Amino acid sequence: MQADTPEQPDTPEITELKAANQRFYDAFGALDIEMMDDVWDQSEKAMCVHPGWPALMDWEMIRQSWDRIFQNTSLMLFNIRYINAVVVGDCGWVTCTENISSVLQGTASNFGILATNIFMRTPEGWRMIAHHASPGA
């Protein structure tokens, strides 16, 4: 059993990383592919794993997957919890629980996802390089 410890204040770089992570969920919730374009590193290094899907490599494949999800979804609401953000050099990652309410192809559902979002610091700010989501929260 872990002892309760007071939460440490965020550093400016952790605050920036959390803001980048929030931009991802804002784009996802808005079902907006242009907003998603602004979140991601658009290179062959990008990787995405949607729950139940094979790993997608390269931004073009990832973008097509988001576009397909957005075209088939009429509502996506997120309650993000248990956020843990870490920065080491120009790499940062956020682990969290996504509690999602959605309407996909006319069917409403509520479910939980465990997610790891990895970001790179670029001249334009933090850009997502990997998103890995698994059922289970």
Q: Is residue 18 part of a domain?
A: yes
Tally the domains of the chain: 1
Phi, psi of 2 (to 5 degrees): -85, 145
Q: Is residue 7 part of a domain?
A: no
Q: Is residue 1 part of a domain?
A: no
Q: Domain holding 22: CATH number?
A: 3.10.450.50
Dmax over CA atoms of the chain, in Å, equals: 46
Q: Is residue 81 part of a domain?
A: yes
* pLDDT tens digits, one per residue of 70-126: 999 999 999 999 999 999 999 999 999 999 998 888 889 898 999 999 999 999 999
Domain that residue 61 falls in: 12-122+129-135
| Residue the block writes with tokens 């920036």 | 16
